[in-house]
Amino acid sequence: MVSLTIDGMPVTVAAGTTLFDAARTLGIRIPVLCHQQNERPVGVCRVCCVDTGERTLAAACTRPAGNGMVVETDSDRTKSARRTLVELLMADHPTPCARQRQSHDCELEVLAEAENISEIRYPKRGSPRGKDDSSFVIQVDYEACILCDRCVRGCNEIRHNDVLGRMGKGYSTGIAFDLNSPMGNSSCVSCGECMVSCPTGALTNKTVVGTVLTGEPVETGFLLGLPYFEEISGTFLNLNRNAVVLRKFQTGEVICREGEYGSTAFYIIKGKADVHITAPLAHVGKSGGATGFFSKLTSFLTKSPDGDGKSIPIDGPVDVAVSGPAATLGPGDLFGEMTCMSLYPRSATVRATEDCVMIEMLRNVLDIMLRNKTLRAQLDFNYRKRALEDHLRSVPLFASLGQDFIDHLRDRVELLRFNRNEVVCEQGDVADRFFLVRIGFVKVTERHPGGDLVLAYLGRGGYFGEIGLLGGGVRTATVAALDHVELVSIHAEDFHRMLELFPDIRRNLQAVAEDRARQNLSHIATSASVPLNDFLSQGLMEANSLLLLDLDKCTRCDACVRACADAHDGVTRLIREGLRYQNYLVATSCRQCRDPLCMVGCPVGSIRRRTTLEVVIEDWCIGCGLCAENCPYGNINMHPFQVIQEGIDAAGLPLRPVITQKATTCDLCADHAEPSCVYACPHDAAHRVDPNEFFGNLPVHRTSAHRTSAR
Amino acid sequence: MRIDSTHWPWLIGTLTALSVLTASFIVYVALSHGHARGGSLPGLAYGAAGYGLILYAAFLGVRKKLPVWRIGKAQTWMRGHLWMGFLSLPLILFHCAFTWKGPLASLLMILLFITVGSGLIGAALQHYIPGLMTRSVPMETIYEEIPHLRRQLCAEADELAAGINSSGSNEGALQIEIDPEARVHFANVYKRTIRPGLSSDTGKHKKADPEHLRSAFDSLRRLLPASAYPILADIENICEEERQLQRQRRIYFWLHGWLLVHVPLSIALLVLGAIHAVMALRY
């Protein structure tokens, strides 16, 4: 035992007790930032400095009590030193930080207030340290970090996750996840320990703003008792009590509707539910309002482009068949993952076929839940068992795969997850696997001295990696996740075996690889030849095909618009208004962009590009409007269609027609040699052109583009 | 349709056909010893060919009703309409040997002249006016939307003017310090000069005259503080847009107005031509 005096009061404590703890037994509170009771003291902030009568002040949290020691915690010397220390820390800290704004309990700012520090004498940091927004659960603000190491000790010594550490030296010192990865991409399990340890707003809980879940609140204890929640941190669940609720649905009740925007996912605990696509499958070109004998005759004679796929991808563990769009989900199934993680519209309507009990959760909870290895294994098992075959067969290239080989692949494919902006493979890497996109969207880019060039966006059913595997064994492009992405990975060995067993797949893949390589070359050549001027800034050079009207020839008779409407049963896909370039009007009509942003996010994969270039919207469009929102040029429109329903209602009367919306865009009248608008122009004013070729040949290339009346 | 170098083959074809037909007519007249008439075999042939060409020209209207049908590009039909329609006139003149008697024949010839004439005028208008519209109406919009846009512009101008008219203490009013007298003057100028010009249906209202408006805005700029200039500039832009929309309406009328003469007369010509043929052959 050792006896000492603190602020004039004698105290006896066990040997090894720190001055901080000894003072605490006397009820003396020494301010501190880097120390917590449950963590090993490290004495990095020095705010707890006390005067022991020695030449220098001592950090109370690390200095053991000595026999006969006389300690002053509140002398002028300590007060002055503490004030200076707090000022120095405040100079490196945004005021107010996120935590101070949210809950007014940033320990540093509270301390500064207590010390009456309103003005900082020291200059603020010149170079910003930045933020990390990659985790769905925790917001990292490096600006607010005071390098107290409480998070590091919480992660490594309390939770033993060994994710957090220090990086850099001197002024550039900071905390880092793994080898300085973004938090969302690191091996962090989002246990929340760092967040609860942090004294400032450097690590704060992310709440999903504006989302209020209806349903029964769930106690943390109850959740921890559920199989897939048992490994989740109780701290985290406590902090996110409002982000997960228990929902009970009666038979026949609708759980979610297609096209609606949502932010939650559902995990079925009990009961069964059916998944439907309720949007009519009739193609928009066959359901419009054509009037007049000739138009109806035209409509009858014009064939509808059929979809190539046999199944509709939905945001769930199964696909639904085009012929009978319904599937069943049961206990252990998770659905709404894309909506929850990437805020896409619901891809299908889910209705309870039995009384159901489900957990509805926001993405921070889902993200943690998906890190649960048991749940992952269960979901992966469901996918391999129920959806892998449909998924492979929905890709036309693999339609001929034998059942034996699919069974062989079932256990050999790897299911990989990627967060937003995470790189799947890098240009120049060794090509060791082939990928199929299962959920989400990826961006394929090629590195060039002038910057990255986007080659394609791939969604569900898309595949990549074949060029590297078939060619020199090196990746020719970089692929990164645009949102929450899940991929099916086929190892090189299985890929090559597949090609040996199925020569037609090899032939098709080779043709695709050659075609893609050719397109990429043409894309690069085009980009290199593009002059930088106003014209470029309008994005016209990114178009593959522009509908141009020569205004010196156009008599504004609208024959083009009428032709378009007639070709599509009364719904025009072009508007005779838009940008003007010299004497040309760039009509508002699909440009078949090289970089088709409209394709990103379609929850049912109904918008796609044919091999012959044109962008088409398939029959099963659910009318969510995401493609229309994504098109930067306003060239996709939502049109209401009256759909006649078959059957009778409860009163025995025929069902009334319903109005449904579908997206429409120019399909270049793919069934004909020439688009109808061009064919029907009597004045030789309408032309579909390749902008690079067309404008490259124009004598003057400087006139700026401008929009006609924008009102 | 713009008559440019792409019309050379049609021009040459038409002139060749005209030369051949003229030569044949000269031979026919010479051989008939001054008795050339529509009822003779060559006369009937000319008449049938002429009526056939008129019929073909009229089919352009039907072609336009079937824009999707792959029955030849609309521009080919239009070129045919122009040149063959023109060729029908000499053929009909050859048919009647430049003389016509009786009320129906006279009426038909008048109709033919007016129809071909209006067609020529129309072709000339459609050659020049699109370029004129492109140059003089940079804010061109879809014709059918003009009334709606004009209403929008008026409402927008009223809203902007209200920003200056209402006192700064009113809720929603702009916080511009304006002398009360200047405010009253602005309200008067807006009400009596600017607004009538904006809502004029013809665009020919004296108040819509650009010079008149410019001087009104200049006087307002001298009177109002600089902080009100952006609002004045916005109102002035609205007046300019309104003027362009009126100009578009006028040009559009000239671009398509001739069809009001050409189309009904063409139909009448076709119908009466058919009656003439039946009557002449039967009686």
The shortest CB-CB distance from A552 to any of B2, B66, B74 is to: B2
Strands (DSSP E) found in A60-215:
70-71, 131-132, 138-141, 164-167, 174-177, 203-205
Torsion of CA A536, A540, A544, A550, to 10 degrees: -130
The token duo for B63 is 């072609």
Chain A residue at shortest CA distance from B72: A679
What's the confidence (pLDDT) of residue A384?
78
Taking 90 as the threshold, does the pLDDT of residue B23 lie above it?
yes
Main-chain phi, psi angles of A257, to 5 degrees: -115, 145
Nearest C-alpha neighbor of A200 from the set A83, A277, A109: A109
The shortest CB-CB distance from A682 to any of B65, B75, B129 is to: B75
H-assigned helices in A26-91 = 76-91
CATH, domain range A101-205: 3.30.70.20
Helix (H, G, I), strand (E, B) or coil at A425: strand
Interface touch B149/A580, C-beta < 8 Å: no
Give, in words, the CATH class of A394-529.
mainly beta
Interface touch A559/B2, C-beta < 8 Å: no
Interface touch B142/A577, C-beta < 8 Å: yes
Interface touch B60/A580, C-beta < 8 Å: no
Interface touch A672/B75, C-beta < 8 Å: no
Quote the distance between the C-alpha of residue A151 and its chain's center.
Answer: 27
Taking 90 as the threshold, does the pLDDT of residue B15 lie above it?
yes
Residue A551 C-alpha, separation from nearest chain B C-alpha, in angstroms: 6
User: Are B60 and B81 within 8 A, CB to CB?
Assistant: yes
What's the confidence (pLDDT) of residue B274?
93
The token duo for A601 is 């996010």
Which residues of chain A are modeled with pLDDT < 70? 207-212, 231, 278-311, 322-325, 371-373, 449-451, 519-539, 541-542, 595, 610-613, 643-647, 696-711
- From chain A, pick out residues whose CB is under 8 angstroms from the CB of B156: 711
Amino acid (one-letter) located at A72: E
Residue of A296, A297, A556 to mutate for B, most B C-beta atoms under 10 A: A556
- From chain B, pick out residues whose CB is under 8 angstroms from the CB of A706: 138
The shortest CB-CB distance from B140 to any of A680, A683, A709 is to: A709
Q: Are strands A203-205 and A138-141 parallel, antiparallel or unpaired?
A: antiparallel
Q: For chain B, list residues whose CB is within 8 angstroms of any CB belonging to chain A.
A: 1-2, 6, 60, 64-70, 73-75, 77-78, 126, 129-131, 133-134, 138-143, 149, 152-153, 156, 241, 245, 252, 255-256
Residues of chain A with CATH 3.30.70.20: 101-205
Residues of chain A with CATH 2.60.120.10: 394-529
Chain B residue at shortest CA distance from A575: B142
The shortest CB-CB distance from A676 to any of B67, B75, B252 is to: B67
Q: How many CB atoms lie within 10 A of CB B26?
A: 11
- Whole-model pTM: value is 0.60
Quote the distance between the C-alpha of residue A591 and its chain's center.
Answer: 26
- From chain B, pick out residues whose CB is under 8 angstroms from the CB of A683: 1-2, 75, 78, 126
H or E element in which residue A236 lies: helix A234-239
Interface touch B130/A554, C-beta < 8 Å: yes
- From chain A, pick out residues whose CB is under 8 angstroms from the CB of B149: 709, 711
- From chain B, pick out residues whose CB is under 8 angstroms from the CB of A300: none
Residue B174 C-alpha, separation from nearest chain A C-alpha, in angstroms: 23
User: Are B115 and B258 within 8 A, CB to CB?
Assistant: no
Cα separation values, A453 from A68, A456, A533, A590, B54, Å = 72, 9, 19, 22, 57
- From chain A, pick out residues whose CB is under 8 angstroms from the CB of B73: 674, 679
What's the confidence (pLDDT) of residue A120?
83
DSSP per-residue string spanning A618-677: -TT-----HHHHH-TTS--EEEEEEEPPPSB-TTSPBPPPEEEEEEE---TTTTSSS-HH
What's the confidence (pLDDT) of residue A711?
33
CATH, domain range A2-74: 3.10.20.740
Interface touch B252/A556, C-beta < 8 Å: yes
Cα separation values, A293 from A125, A289, B73, Å = 76, 12, 21
Amino acid (one-letter) located at A192: G
Helix (H, G, I), strand (E, B) or coil at A448: strand
What's the confidence (pLDDT) of residue A58?
92
Nearest C-alpha neighbor of A266 from the set A363, A343, A137, A345: A363
Q: Is the ipTM of this complex over 0.90?
A: no
Residue B33 C-alpha, separation from nearest chain A C-alpha, in angstroms: 45
Main-chain phi, psi angles of A555, to 5 degrees: -95, 15
Taking 70 as the threshold, does the pLDDT of residue B245 lie above it?
yes
Interface touch A682/B252, C-beta < 8 Å: no
**B128 contact partners, CB below 8 Å, separation of at least 6:** none
CA dihedral sign of residues A283, A289, A290, A296: positive
Give the position of tokens 């209806």: A214
Interface touch A676/B68, C-beta < 8 Å: yes
What's the confidence (pLDDT) of residue A524?
60
Interface touch A557/B256, C-beta < 8 Å: yes
What CA–CA distance (Å, rounded) separates A329 from A359?
14
Residue A704 C-alpha, separation from nearest chain B C-alpha, in angstroms: 13
Interface touch B68/A682, C-beta < 8 Å: no
Q: Which residues pair with A166 in a beta bridge?
A: A175
What's the confidence (pLDDT) of residue A164?
93
Q: How many CB atoms lie within 10 A of CB A354?
A: 14
What CA–CA distance (Å, rounded) separates A383 from A250?
27
**What integer is the mean pLDDT of B52-56?**
93
- From chain A, pick out residues whose CB is under 8 angstroms from the CB of B65: 294
- From chain A, pick out residues whose CB is under 8 angstroms from the CB of B64: 559, 680, 682
The shortest CB-CB distance from B67 to any of A552, A566, A575 is to: A566
Give the position of tokens 């009426």: B107
**What integer is the mean pLDDT of B147-176?**
75
The shortest CB-CB distance from B1 to any of A294, A576, A684 is to: A684
For residue A158, the 8-state DSSP code is: I
Q: For chain A, list residues whose CB is within 8 angstroms of any CB belonging to chain B.
A: 294, 298, 302, 551-557, 559, 562-563, 566-567, 575-577, 580, 583, 672, 674, 676, 679-685, 706, 708-709, 711
The token duo for A338 is 């894309």
The shortest CB-CB distance from B142 to any of A551, A576, A676 is to: A576
What CA–CA distance (Å, rounded) separates A485 from A312?
18
Interface touch B70/A555, C-beta < 8 Å: no
What's the confidence (pLDDT) of residue A149?
92
Interface touch A580/B138, C-beta < 8 Å: yes
What's the confidence (pLDDT) of residue B207?
58
DSSP per-residue string spanning A240-280: TGGGEEEEEE-TT-EEE-TT-B---EEEEEES-EEEE--S-
Residue B181 C-alpha, separation from nearest chain A C-alpha, in angstroms: 33
Phi/psi-derived region of residue A465, left when phi > 0, alpha when psi is between -120 and 50, beta in every other case: left
Residues of chain A with CATH 3.10.20.740: 2-74
Show the 3-state SS of chain B: CCCCHHHHHHHHHHHHHHHHHHHHHHHHHHHCCCCCCCCCHHHHHHHHHHHHHHHHHHHHHHHHHCCCCCCCCHHHHHHHHHHHHHHHHHHHHHHHCCCCCCHHHHHHHHHHHHHHHHHHHHHHHHHHHHHHHHHHCCCCCCHHHHHHHHHHHHHHHHHHHHHHHCCCCCCCCCCCCCCHHHHHHHHHHHHHHHHHHHHCCCCCCHHHCHHHHHHHHHHHHHHCCHHHHHHHHHHHHHHHHHHHHHHHHHHHHHHHHCHHHHHHHHHHHHHHHHHHHHHHHHC
- From chain A, pick out residues whose CB is under 8 angstroms from the CB of B143: 556
Residue of A582, A678, A709 to mutate for B, most B C-beta atoms under 10 A: A709
Q: Taking the CA of residue A584 as centre, how many other CA atoms within 13 Å lie in the half-sphere pointing to its CB? A: 22
